[in-house]
Amino acid sequence: MEQERGPEGGAEAEAEAEAAGDEGEPEAKKRRLLCVEFASVASCDPAVAQCYLAENDWEMERALNSYFEPLAEESAAESRPDTPSGPKTYVDLTSEDATDSTSSKSSTSENTQQEDGSMFSFITWNIDGLDLNNLQERARGVCSYLALYSPDVIFLQEVIPPYYSYLKKRASNYEMITGCKEGYFTAIMLKKSRVKLKSQEVIPFPSTKMMRNLLCVHVSVSENELYLMTSHLESTRGHAEERMNQLKMVLKKIQEAPESATVIFAGDTNLRDLEVTKCGGLPNNILDVWEFLGKPKHCQYTWDTQMNSNLGISATCKLRFDRIFFRAAAEEGHIIPRSLDLLGLEKLDCGRFPSDHWGLLCNLDIIL
């Protein structure tokens, strides 16, 4: 079992444990999440949400009551921050010029290394859309990786509506399916030239406190039937019980897929190894791809505050939050995981990485 944290001791270890307990999310990121939830409920701009939450000690119920409370006097109404009626002002990712969009499209269409049908590839990445700082440059960085590797499927977590619109424009050769349309959500992108969508399904997590669900699609690739799934399981150590319940739902859904199909789940699980053990481990017919490939050290930690400075956490936290589960079709050998690599390791011109998570690029062989 890999270590969850670095080998520091004393007070530093305590700080590190506290940081790891928050999914490495400092107070700032927790507050961003609250802002998105508030904005989704109130149908307002996140900047407005931040004002009301800050004025009410970041207590969601108090802030919402304050926002919706009828204002008796016009002067009081004038003191309320205006909700923009036009495009959201906090971020406009769709203002790229046409050249950018065209170049992205051409670079992906020209990458035909997988079109012979003998390979299949996908990327899974928590793109941290809740962090609005440098979001346009970070989104461009993510799209550069997508264009470079031209995967057949892309699993994304922490997508927000402006990011979704940007991806729809920049990656028009992909079909996008989302787990929701408001707040923040997951998405699966399917390369139109390679992957045929047959059906889709969103399975709610009934007791989530963080707007989480399981997104599933049924597709065919090179005459192979696949069920593809992604999720962003409940965050922070304090929500381990809910996260384990969500994992059980994911594993149950994987097992329910027809035996003739290959099943791939890829997403931000927020899992610690002990939690998987407490759930009884993975069923015998479901693989953790990283373990199956021999636990390669170069792609062990997808959330690493020592290497990734986006969140500004001083303590060192190294965790394997992003995981891939694989269930082969009953007739073995049709699709086999071959390699796994990290993405997003280079800093952008703004001095930050595309996300606080590394992405995972997985290549698989298709036996024709």
**Regions of the chain where pLDDT drops below 70:** 1-26, 42-43, 64-116, 332-333
Q: Give yes or no: residues 178 and 283 share one domain.
A: yes
Q: Give yes or no: residues 185 and 48 share one domain.
A: no
Q: Does the annotation mark 100 as catalytic?
A: no
Three-class SS of the chain: CCCCECCCCHHHHHHHHHHHHCCCCCHHHHHHHHHHHHHHHHCCCHHHHHHHHHHCCCCHHHHHHHHHCCCCCHHHHHHCCCCCCCCCCCCCCCCCCHHHHHHHHHHHHHCCCCCCCCEEEEEEEECCCCCCCCHHHHHHHHHHHHHHHCCCEEEEEEECHHHHHHHHHHCCCEEEEECCCCCCEEEEEEECCCEEEEEEEEEECCCCCCCCEEEEEEEEECCEEEEEEEEECCCCHHHHHHHHHHHHHHHHHHHHCCCCCEEEEEEECCCCHHHHHHCCCCCCCCEEHHHHCCCCHHHCCCEECCCCCCCCCCCCEEECCEEEEEECCCCCCCEEEEEEEEECCCCCCCCCCCCCCCEEEEEEEECC
Range of the domain at 35: 29-67
CATH code: domain of residue 161 = 3.60.10.10
**Residue 97 amino acid letter:** D
- Among 67, 97, 129, residue at a domain's last position: 67
Bridge partners of 231, per DSSP, are: 214
Q: Is residue 74 part of a domain?
A: no
Q: What is the pTM of this model?
A: 0.75
Query: What pLDDT was estimated at residue 258?
Result: 95
Q: Give yes or no: residues 185 and 302 share one domain.
A: yes
Query: What pLDDT was estimated at residue 93?
Result: 55
Q: How far is CA 4 from the centre of its chain?
A: 20
Q: Is residue 95 part of a domain?
A: no
Query: What pLDDT was estimated at residue 65?
Result: 65
pLDDT in tens, 141-150: 999 999 999 9
**Domains of the chain: total:** 2
Q: Is residue 233 part of a domain?
A: yes
Q: Give yes or no: residues 270 and 137 share one domain.
A: yes
Query: What pLDDT was estimated at residue 66?
Result: 66
pLDDT in tens, 157-196: 999 999 999 999 999 999 999 999 889 999 999 999 999 9
**Of the residues 22, 128, 268, 356, which is catalytic?**
268
Query: What pLDDT was estimated at residue 274?
Result: 96
